[in-house]
């Protein structure tokens, strides 16, 4: 089949393209802009890429058009598909029809940590010899790719609550029908499509309604929004993980060290071992992944042993380089909870020096100012903060955050990189946080350093 993907540059759609190629389809795609690492993966696959949506030739030649959720009615390319009665569907529907049938799907949902937990589960299953398939919203360093068809029965997928397509406003994850579901946390986000937390909870309830009674739902403790969502109706076994002794799966730091974790499973089995992941939030992530792997027969010991070879995910506290004693990190955090957790994780993993935090207010929710009341507090753990303002912001950070703490503001990433590099001292840690490219500021910092 000849498949053309509209919006192929996104992590989900680029991963879908890889799966389609593995199934023997002829794949091409269009996007407004493509950049690494997804553009690199597509080039390696030999996928024909069309930059922009002006060229309509590949649409006319395709047997199926897969339309990403970034495209809306009124876009000329969408109107062309509709006017010419071309066959089309969404990416999640394509997965539901052509990849997931007959597979045991492990879906990882929640506001934060989806990519990390998906990657951990995938690697634990791989370590156990189960050869899982996967589709994750980032590049798994252990595999150097974001998606794989896999040879085994299991398929791990990052289950996003964002809407499916312009013609299907349900969350993507309702298409996946998991038999193992992780709900890692639940907070308000994606303010561009959800009016409040209750609207997000309703979508998670719709997801829970698709989970078989014989399946397992793993939920994080200390999350009232998850408990409230379960009260809307749940027909599957629920297993809780967390720090409290009353949890089915319990974790704790071993001897107070943040690089050594101990797990207690529901049957009382104890396992412990080192972890390469910094921070309390990653202890939660490891516990969630180990619990999911156990549902598929992987022992807690084997799950923790797998961590010795785990190399995390790009853009999750990823060390991009060191120059003259200064370390530059890249992280995807763009929600106050994730920002605070990332800063705390870096603080706990360093022995000296300052944390200089650079933040790009890029997500739709941040641009709308939804979290402006909590953002200042989330940044409080850093020694120095610089924020890149953008022309699309509907609020003025320098006015709204001025009372929270002293923050430097920049409109030009080049000037920001120059100034921050000049201020950095040996032993400092520069933490760059954005859900976008941040104008490639990481390389600019390293050049100036």
Q: Are residues 323 and 278 in the same domain?
A: no
Which of 39, 63, 90 is where one domain is finished? 90
Same domain, 398 and 298: no
Burial of 97 per CB tally in 10 Å (0-12, 13-18, 19+): exposed
Residues 81 and 112 in one domain: no
Are 175 and 158 a contacting pair, CB within 8 Å? no
Whether residues 106 and 217 fall in one domain: yes
Cα 265 from Cα 255, distance rounded (Å): 19
In degrees, to the nearest 5, what angle opens at C-alpha 349 toward C-alphas 114 and 408?
A: 80
Whether residue 117 is found in the same domain as residue 221: yes
* CA–CA separation, 222 and 244 (whole Å): 9
| Judgement on whether residues 195 and 222 belong to the same structural domain of the protein | yes
* Cβ atoms of residues 14 and 146 within 8 Å: yes
Q: Is residue 281 located within the same domain as residue 176?
A: yes
pLDDT in tens, 242-251: 988 889 999 9
End-to-end CA distance of the chain: give it in Å, rounded: 50
Residue keyed to tokens 């009382």: 268
Res 370 pLDDT > 80: no
Query: DSSP letters of 395-413?
Result: S-HHHHSTTTS--EEES-H
pLDDT tens-digit profile of 332-367?
A: 777 787 888 888 878 877 777 898 989 888 777 777
* Boundary of a domain, candidates 309, 336, 359: 309
What is the dihedral sign for C-alpha 53, 55, 58, 60? positive
| pLDDT tens digits, 267-310 | 999 999 988 887 788 888 999 999 999 999 999 999 999 999 98
pLDDT tens figures, 232-242: 999 999 999 99
Let me know whether 31 and 116 are in one domain. Answer: no
- The confidence score (pLDDT) of residue 43 equals 85
Task: Out of 61, 90, 119, pick the residue that ends a domain.
Answer: 90
Over residues 55-76, mean pLDDT? 93
- 29-38 average pLDDT score: 82
In a domain, 129, yes or no: yes
Domain count, the chain: 3
Dihedral (CA of 204, 207, 211, 215) sign: negative
Task: Give 14's pLDDT tier (boundaries 50, 70, 90).
Answer: very high
Please check the confidence at residue 323 and state whether its pLDDT lies above 60: yes
Q: Is 363 found in the same domain as 215?
A: no
* Angle between helices 11-22 and 91-98 in degrees, nearest 10: 30
| Of the candidates 242, 294, 301, 292, the residue with the CA atom closest to the CA atom of residue 270 | 301
| pTM, to two decimals | 0.85
Query: Which residues lie below 8 Å from residue 171, measured CB to CB, with a gap of 6+?
Result: 160, 161, 162, 163, 164, 203, 204, 206, 207
Please tell me whether residues 322 and 292 are part of one structural domain: no
Give the Å distances, CA to CA, from 208 to 75, 182, 213, 232, 237: 34, 11, 10, 10, 11
The CATH number given to whatever domain includes residue 355 is 3.90.190.20
Q: Residue 284 sits in a domain of what CATH number?
A: 3.40.1190.10
Note whether residue 95 is domain-resident.
Answer: no
Q: Give the structural domain span for 24.
A: 2-90
Q: For residue 257, what pLDDT band results from cuts at 50, 70 and 90? A: low
Structure tokens at 301: 């010991």
The answer to whether 185 and 221 are in contact (CB under 8 A) is no
* Residue 290 covered by a domain: yes
Instruction: Tell me which long-range contacts 199-204 makes (C-beta under 8 A, separation of at least 24).
Output: 200/161, 201/225, 201/228, 201/229, 201/232, 202/232, 203/161, 203/170, 203/171, 203/173, 203/174, 204/109, 204/161, 204/171, 204/229
Cα–Cα distance between 70 and 29 in angstroms, integer? 14
Q: Report if residue 300 sits inside a domain.
A: yes
280 vs 145, more confident? 145
Task: Report CA 262 to chain centroid distance, whole Å.
Answer: 25
Note whether 303 and 358 are same-domain residues.
Answer: no
Residue 141 is assigned to a structural domain of this protein: yes
Do 231 and 117 lie in one domain? The reply is: yes
């Amino acid at each position: 089949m000849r498949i053309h993907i509209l919006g192929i540059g996104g992590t989900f759609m680029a991963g879908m393209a890889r799966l389609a190629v593995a199934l023997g389809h002829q794949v091409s795609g269009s996007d407004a802009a493509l950049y690494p690492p997804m553009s690199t993966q597509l080039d390696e696959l030999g996928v024909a890429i069309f930059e922009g949506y002006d060229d309509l030739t590949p649409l006319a030649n395709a047997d199926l058009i897969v339309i990403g959720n970034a495209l809306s009615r009124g876009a000329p390319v969408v109107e062309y598909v509709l006017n010419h009665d071309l066959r089309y569907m969404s990416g999640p529907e394509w997965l539901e029809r052509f990849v997931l049938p007959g597979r045991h799907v492990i879906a990882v949902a929640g506001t934060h940590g989806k990519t990390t937990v998906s990657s951990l589960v995938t690697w634990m299953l791989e370590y156990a010899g189960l050869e899982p398939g996967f589709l994750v919203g980032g590049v798994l360093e252990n595999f150097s790719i974001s998606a794989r068809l896999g040879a085994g029965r299991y398929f791990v997928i990052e289950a996003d609550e964002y809407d499916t397509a312009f013609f299907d406003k349900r969350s993507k994850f309702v298409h996946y029908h998991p038999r193992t579901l992780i709900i890692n946390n639940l907070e308000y986000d994606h303010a561009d499509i959800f009016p409040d937390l209750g609207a997000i909870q309703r979508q998670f309830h719709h997801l829970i309604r698709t989970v078989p009674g014989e399946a397992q739902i793993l939920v994080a403790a200390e999350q009232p929004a998850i408990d409230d969502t379960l009260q809307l109706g749940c027909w599957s076994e629920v297993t809780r993980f967390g720090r409290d002794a009353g949890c089915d799966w319990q974790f704790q730091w071993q001897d107070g060290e943040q690089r050594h974790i101990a797990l207690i499973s529901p049957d009382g089995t104890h396992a412990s071992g080192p972890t390469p992941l910094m921070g309390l939030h990653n202890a939660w992530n490891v516990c969630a992944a180990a619990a999911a792997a156990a549902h598929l027969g992987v022992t807690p010991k084997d799950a923790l042993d797998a961590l010795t070879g785990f190399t995390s995910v790009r853009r999750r506290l990823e060390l991009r380089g060191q120059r003259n004693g200064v370390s530059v990190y890249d992280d995807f955090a763009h929600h106050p909870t994730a920002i605070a957790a990332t800063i705390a994780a870096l603080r706990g993993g360093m022995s000296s020096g300052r944390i200089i935090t650079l933040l790009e207010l890029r997500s739709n929710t941040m641009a709308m100012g939804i979290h402006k009341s909590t953002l200042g507090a989330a940044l409080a753990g850093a020694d120095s903060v610089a924020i890149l303002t953008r022309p699309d912001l509907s609020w003025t950070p320098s006015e709204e955050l001025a009372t929270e703490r002293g923050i430097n503001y920049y409109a030009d990433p080049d000037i920001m990189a120059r100034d921050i590099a000049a201020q950095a001292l040996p032993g400092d840690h520069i933490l760059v946080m954005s859900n976008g490219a941040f104008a490639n500021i990481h390389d600019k910092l390293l050049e100036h350093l």
